[in-house]
Amino acid sequence: MATNTLRDRFRILLPAGLAILILAAAAPCAAQLGLPPQFVVETADDWTALFDRNSGWSGADGIYSIPLRSDDRFGAADGQQTLFLFSDTFIGEVDDSGQRTDTVMINNTGALLRGGVPDSAAIEFLFRTDGSGAPASLIVPRTPETGPEDYYWLGDGVVIGRTLHVFGLRIAPAGGIGFASQGVTLISLPLDGPLQEPAQIDTPLFLPDDGVRGDVIFGAGILDNTTAAGSPYADGYIYVYGTQNDPYVKKLVAARVRPETFLDFTTWEYYGDGGWSGDVTDLAELTTRVSSELSVTPMPDGSGRWVLVFQEDAIGRYVSLRVGGSPIGPWSRIHRIYEVPEIQLDPDIYTYNAKAHPHISRPGELLISYNVNTFDFWDHFRYADIYRPRFIRIRVDDGTPLREDAPTEGGPVLAAAPNPFNPRTEVSFRLDEAQPVTVAVYDVAGRMVKSLADGAFPAGSHTLTWDGRDHTGRSCPAGIYFCRLRTATAQSSTALSLVK
């Protein structure tokens, strides 16, 4: 699609230095998930520089990246445009001394980037102007539940078909510079056809503090686990993550929905202690110590694992991750992958909201952002460099495989088709010589589900079938499984996605 065409989609909203850390081996609780033995984290200075600006948009809170052609695969940004979404934003000028002048703060903005390279000539920042020509928020609440002073902080979004859907956290002022969460809105904008105002609907995705648990806010992160998004382990669901904000700790919660019924909240499911159900109040704690913004992404190693990226303890010095066997875990212990340097500059500075951006990551790497802020509001005007996102990237260290169970060089390689599958899939491999072989299916906790083969095989090609049942003949639940082949000298495994 031509650049100016997508720019016009959003015109309706407008008036006519290297740091490295080696991650050590996983703890025993995560070993079965195949956590990488080591990798490095380095600063992504090219992406950080893209948002270091001295005129117009000059810094913001939060940053989500949405692929506008739905393709969220690693490196897929080269063939599409990316919409970035921000919350509180400074609009104005920065002088040669690094101080803000003629600057105002508005509650949300956006940016359109053409392609997958952090090129300042390829990005355009988006916000409104009011009747007097002053900068104004990109999206303003207009729902039946909206209060007179409400505004939006923008959450994550997803493109389904050719419609963009974004979650907006509706905020109201609460004394001085305080604020209070009021609700979660779904904002929808068609990317094709006649220009129109985005639709806004109030959702059930906000639960107020009930005195027993803190409030629950969905929209912290989205995983589009569908074939349309290019997910390698697609199960046909879009996962929407939220946080349960208990005193002193944020806990991860999850919902899921089929893309074809995304707007029908009666079809949404929420993960509770008894599994998936339609009860939004029945929420299980998937893990803890996460941040208000986060991400769940397939590991960039073909292992069938997932990585949850977050700022440890919401506001803290560590960008951290957990590794899991499915989009909802189980999750490993916390792995601190990067200690941010900014907090050493001033005791008022804090960092928060780490998350991954897979489609603008290079193949084999994972690009991660975090935000920098200060408790002293006026420091934003004295030191304009504070308030903007920073980026780091995870990459493999010296060619070390990102998966511990990678096939031995020259050994047999497992392949499965169809995958995802229902009700059965065929697992194939080739042997260069006759030898004993074992092939079995395991769940994400490392428990054997079913043995497919255990005996001598002749040289040549072989195919085995798994019917989605365990060793007792019971049908297995939908999810990610691992098929593992072993010989006396080699091993190989592949992830299987069983859908229902």
Whether 86 contacts 125, CB under 8 Å: no
What confidence category does residue 301 fall into, taking pLDDT thresholds of 50, 70 and 90?
Answer: low
The CATH code of the domain at 415-498 is: 2.60.40.4070
- Alpha-carbon span 477 to 464, nearest angstrom: 20
Q: Tell me which of 18-27, 67-76, 153-162, 314-323 is least confident.
A: 18-27
Omega before residue 347 within 30° of 0, cis: no
Residues whose CB falls within 8 Å of the CB of residue 270, separated by 6 or more in sequence, listed in order:
253, 254, 255, 276, 277, 278, 279, 280, 282, 283
Range 301-321 average pLDDT: 89
Two tokens, residue 83 = 């919409």
Whether 220 contacts 206, CB under 8 Å: no
Two tokens, residue 13 = 């909203």
- Alpha-carbon span 264 to 206, nearest angstrom: 16
Q: Each residue of 352-381: pLDDT tens digit?
A: 999 999 999 988 889 999 999 999 999 999
Whether 112 contacts 138, CB under 8 Å: no
| Sheet with 479-486, edge to edge strand ranges | 448-457, 435-442, 479-486, 491-498
User: Is the predicted pLDDT of residue 208 greater than 60, yes or no?
Assistant: yes
SS3 for 280?
coil
**Whole-number CA gyration radius for the chain:** 24
What confidence category does residue 79 fall into, taking pLDDT thresholds of 50, 70 and 90?
Answer: confident
Residue 281, Cβ neighbours under 10 Å: how many? 12
DSSP 8-state class, residue 27: P
Q: What pLDDT, on the 0 to 100 scale, is given for residue 125?
A: 97
User: Is the predicted pLDDT of residue 37 greater than 90, yes or no?
Assistant: no
User: Is the predicted pLDDT of residue 19 greater than 70, yes or no?
Assistant: no
Q: What pLDDT, on the 0 to 100 scale, is given for residue 29?
A: 30
What confidence category does residue 32 fall into, taking pLDDT thresholds of 50, 70 and 90?
Answer: very low
Whether 491 contacts 407, CB under 8 Å: yes
User: Is the predicted pLDDT of residue 9 greater than 80, yes or no?
Assistant: no
Q: Tell me which of 8-22, 134-148, 170-184, 443-457 is least confident.
A: 8-22
* pLDDT over 90, % of the chain: 68
Q: What pLDDT, on the 0 to 100 scale, is given for residue 13?
A: 44
Whether 421 contacts 468, CB under 8 Å: yes
User: Is the predicted pLDDT of residue 126 greater than 60, yes or no?
Assistant: yes
User: Is the predicted pLDDT of residue 74 greater than 80, yes or no?
Assistant: yes
Q: What rounded mean pLDDT belongs to the chain? A: 87
**Domain boundaries, given as residue ranges, for the chain:** 14-396, 415-498
User: Is the predicted pLDDT of residue 411 greater than 70, yes or no?
Assistant: no
- Alpha-carbon span 169 to 173, nearest angstrom: 13
What confidence category does residue 26 fall into, taking pLDDT thresholds of 50, 70 and 90?
Answer: very low
Two tokens, residue 384 = 């304009």
Q: What pLDDT, on the 0 to 100 scale, is given for residue 481?
A: 81
DSSP 8-state class, residue 37: S
Q: Each residue of 443-455: pLDDT tens digit?
A: 766 678 999 999 9
Q: Tell me which of 141-145, 355-359, 417-421 is least confident.
A: 417-421
Q: What pLDDT, on the 0 to 100 scale, is given for residue 41?
A: 86
CA distances from 245 to 73, 133, 216, 371 (A): 31, 38, 6, 19
Q: Each residue of 50-65: pLDDT tens digit?
A: 999 999 999 999 999 9
Q: What pLDDT, on the 0 to 100 scale, is given for residue 176?
A: 67
User: Is the predicted pLDDT of residue 400 greater than 80, yes or no?
Assistant: no
Residues whose CB falls within 8 Å of the CB of residue 479, separated by 6 or more in sequence, listed in order:
235, 326, 443, 444, 497, 498
CA atoms within 13 A on the CB side of 309: 25
Q: What pLDDT, on the 0 to 100 scale, is given for residue 443?
A: 76
User: Is the predicted pLDDT of residue 407 greater than 60, yes or no?
Assistant: no
* pLDDT over 70, % of the chain: 87
Q: Each residue of 226-275: pLDDT tens digit?
A: 999 999 989 999 999 999 999 889 999 999 999 999 999 999 999 998 89
Q: Tell me which of 170-174, 178-182, 283-287, 408-412 is least confident.
A: 408-412
Q: Tell whether domain 14-396 is in CATH 3.40.50.740.
A: no
Task: Write the DSSP string, 432-481.
Answer: SS-EEEEEEEE-TTS-EEEEEEEEEE-SEEEEEEE-SB-TTSPBPPSEEE
Percent helix / strand / coil, the chain, rounded to 5: 10, 45, 45
CA atoms within 13 A on the CB side of 35: 24
Distance, C-alpha 109 to centroid of its chain:
20
What confidence category does residue 421 fall into, taking pLDDT thresholds of 50, 70 and 90?
Answer: confident
Range 490-497 average pLDDT: 78
Backbone angles phi, psi at 492, to 5 degrees: -155, 150
